């Protein structure tokens, strides 16, 4: 019997080898071109304004209106002006997009500001990514299901029949308590563990006295000690998930809040501009080695994007109507034009019939929106520490060093200054700064943010990890 088995194993190995041959046959073709791919590398020492090393570029994006600079740069010919041939590819979700950039299928992408930071510090997939350009300010909102809205709406302070904004999360407290009594959880959705939306939603809930939960070392659920547990859903699926009752509310970028209004399944209660006035949002992210290997290409991409950003904000938003038309194409955002227009043209609809002016809801170019401020990066890092995604205390210097490794105003300035010299953008649109904004107010809880003292900033929060605290599965421990 043993001899019998032995010979079978031998043959099985032979067969496995056969299979492997077929596998490698398929793969050989793919790897073989690597030589031709890297042979152009020797030219790379050229300066930033030299010849484009890699004119054929593929950029990824998620179907959100703040990808507009990419679509506009392509459709209005800004990429072509810079000698680039760019293909834009929608990605299924933020994880797929990140893997695409890290794996090299994508040369760069419309990214969450937290993604290059998290990748660089090794939270999630570790990779050296950089953010040489910020794509926009604001652009998100928090939406509650109709059911929850009906529960809180009667108690809201009103003025002229309409609720007074900003609406605090403290109004949710009785709802959360009644859910608890019924043995249910009040759940909300956001788009990615390191997304702006996650931090904004957490900020809003915590400012209203509700704990959104902490992350233990290495996990991505982030629901330890949570009053309101959060979960991840890709942006385009948010309305469907809300409608299915899996979540009671969500924080997402446009057009997915207006889509909820349009489909009458939810009510946006607050925009992120009201949580943190003029907060930095998406960035353009790419691999560090790509920028080093193809400096002129990187500069050309940045120039095209800056021109597109200027186009989007030109003449007080005169081009926005055309932008809406472009974004509504099925290969870009693809939602109905009126849904996209609902947030892109200076208005924002909360409850049906409650449309308000929201001039700064989407800022792409004004207010130095494109400049990648170190202080923005530091803010995201402080929030990662506040909620336990960064497990241990870090020194102030660590925050500065990490921000400087990822946010690259040097690359932004090189591109912007050439545009200024060419007369394409006004000199006043490029800030003179050391990369740190002056201490910022404008937060819903009234806390002032000074990027030069991150640890002191963290100590100001009532809900959030303090110096020396760690999160375990059973709760927060430490001094």
Interface with another protein (CB under 8 A)? 4, 7-9, 11-12, 15, 18-19, 22-23, 25-27, 29-34, 36-38, 51, 55-56, 63, 83, 85-92, 96, 99-100, 103-105, 234, 236-237, 239-240, 243, 259, 263, 265, 328, 330-331, 333-336, 339
> Which residue's CB is nearer to another protein, number 323 or number 458?
323
> Which residue's CB is nearer to another protein, number 92 or number 220?
92
The answer to whether 384 touches 203, Cβ cutoff 8 Å, is no
> Which residue's CB is nearer to another protein, number 23 or number 426?
23
| Whether the bond into 283 is cis, omega within 30 of 0 | no
Q: Which of 65, 53, 72, 109 is nearest to 305 (CA)?
A: 72
Q: Could you tell me the smallest distance in angstroms from the CB atom of residue 203 to another protein?
A: 27
Report the Cα–Cα distance between both ends of the chain, in Å, rounded: 65
The answer to whether 113 touches 134, Cβ cutoff 8 Å, is yes
Secondary structure (DSSP) of 370-419 = TS--HHHHHHHHHHHHHTTSS-S---HHHHHHHHHHHB-HHHHHHHHHHH
| Whether the bond into 319 is cis, omega within 30 of 0 | no
Q: Could you tell me the smallest distance in angstroms from the CB atom of residue 124 to another protein?
A: 15
> Which residue's CB is nearer to another protein, number 29 or number 423?
29
Q: Could you tell me the smallest distance in angstroms from the CB atom of residue 86 to another protein?
A: 6
Q: Could you tell me the smallest distance in angstroms from the CB atom of residue 410 to another protein?
A: 24
> Which residue's CB is nearer to another protein, number 217 or number 331?
331
Q: Which of 376, 350, 423 is nearest to 161 (CA)?
A: 350
> Which residue's CB is nearer to another protein, number 334 or number 431?
334
Name the residue with tokens 């704990």. 211
Between β-strands 108-111 and 249-253, what pairing exists: parallel, antiparallel or unpaired?
A: unpaired
Q: Could you tell me the smallest distance in angstroms from the CB atom of residue 287 to another protein?
A: 10
> Which residue's CB is nearer to another protein, number 235 or number 372?
235
- Number of residues in the chain: 479
Tokens of 302: 């940045």
Question: At how many degrees (to 10) do helices 295-317 and 409-421 cross?
Answer: 70
Q: Could you tell me the smallest distance in angstroms from the CB atom of residue 56 to another protein?
A: 7
Q: How far is CA 415 from CA 132, 287, 310, in A?
A: 10, 18, 14
Strand partners, 252: 141
Q: Could you tell me the smallest distance in angstroms from the CB atom of residue 44 to another protein?
A: 13
Q: Could you tell me the smallest distance in angstroms from the CB atom of residue 272 to another protein?
A: 21
Q: Which of 25, 48, 60, 29 is nearest to 287 (CA)?
A: 60
> Which residue's CB is nearer to another protein, number 79 or number 371?
79
> Which residue's CB is nearer to another protein, number 8 or number 421?
8
Cβ-proximal residues to 14 (8 Å cutoff; 6+ apart), any chain: none
Q: Could you tell me the smallest distance in angstroms from the CB atom of residue 63 to another protein?
A: 5
């Amino acid at each position: 019997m043993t001899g019998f088995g032995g010979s079978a194993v031998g043959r099985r190995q032979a067969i496995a080898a056969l299979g492997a041959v077929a596998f490698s046959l398929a793969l050989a073709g793919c790897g073989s071109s690597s030589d031709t791919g890297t042979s152009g590398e020797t030219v790379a020492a050229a300066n930033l304004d030299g010849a484009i090393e890699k004119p054929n570029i593929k950029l990824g994006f998620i179907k959100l209106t703040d990808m507009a600079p990419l679509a506009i740069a392509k459709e209005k010919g800004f990429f072509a002006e810079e000698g680039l041939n760019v293909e834009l590819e929608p990605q299924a979700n933020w994880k797929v997009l990140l893997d695409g950039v890290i794996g090299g299928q994508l040369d760069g992408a419309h990214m969450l500001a937290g993604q290059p930071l998290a990748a660089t510090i090794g939270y999630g997939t570790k990779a050296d990514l950089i953010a040489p350009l910020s794509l926009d300010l604001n652009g998100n909102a928090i939406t509650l299901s109709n059911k929850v809205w009906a529960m809180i709406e009667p108690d809201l302070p009103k003025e002229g029949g309409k609720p007074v904004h900003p609406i605090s999360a403290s109004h949710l407290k009785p709802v959360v308590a009644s859910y608890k009594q019924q043995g249910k959880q009040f759940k909300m959705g956001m788009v990615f563990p390191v997304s702006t939306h996650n931090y904004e939603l957490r900020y809003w809930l915590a400012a209203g006295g509700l704990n959104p939960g902490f992350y233990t070392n290495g996990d991505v659920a982030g629901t330890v000690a949570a009053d309101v547990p959060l979960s991840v859903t890709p942006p385009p699926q948010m309305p469907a998930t809300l409608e299915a009752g899996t979540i009671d509310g969500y924080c997402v970028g446009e057009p997915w809040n207006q889509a909820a209004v349009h489909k009458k399944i939810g009510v946006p209660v607050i925009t992120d501009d009201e949580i943190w006035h003029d907060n930095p949002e998406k960035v353009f992210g790419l691999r560090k080695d790509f920028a080093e290997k193809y400096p002129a290409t990187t500069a050309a991409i940045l120039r095209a994007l800056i021109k597109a950003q200027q186009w989007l904000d030109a003449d007080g938003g005169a081009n926005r109507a055309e932008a809406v038309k472009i974004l509504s194409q099925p290969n870009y955002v693809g939602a109905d034009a009126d849904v996209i227009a609902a947030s892109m043209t200076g208005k924002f609809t909360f409850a049906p019939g409650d449309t308000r002016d929201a001039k700064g809801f989407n800022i792409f170019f004004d207010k130095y929106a494109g400049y990648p401020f170190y202080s923005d990066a530091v803010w995201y890092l402080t929030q990662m520490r506040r909620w336990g995604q960064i497990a241990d205390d870090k020194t102030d210097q660590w925050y500065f060093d990490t921000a400087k490794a990822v946010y690259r105003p040097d690359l932004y300035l090189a591109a912007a200054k050439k545009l200024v010299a060419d007369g394409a953008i006004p000199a006043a649109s490029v800030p003179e700064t050391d990369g740190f904004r002056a201490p910022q107010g404008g937060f819903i809880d009234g806390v002032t943010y000074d990027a030069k003292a991150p640890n002191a900033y963290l100590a100001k929060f009532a809900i959030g990890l303090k110096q020396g605290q760690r999160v375990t599965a059973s709760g927060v421990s430490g001094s």
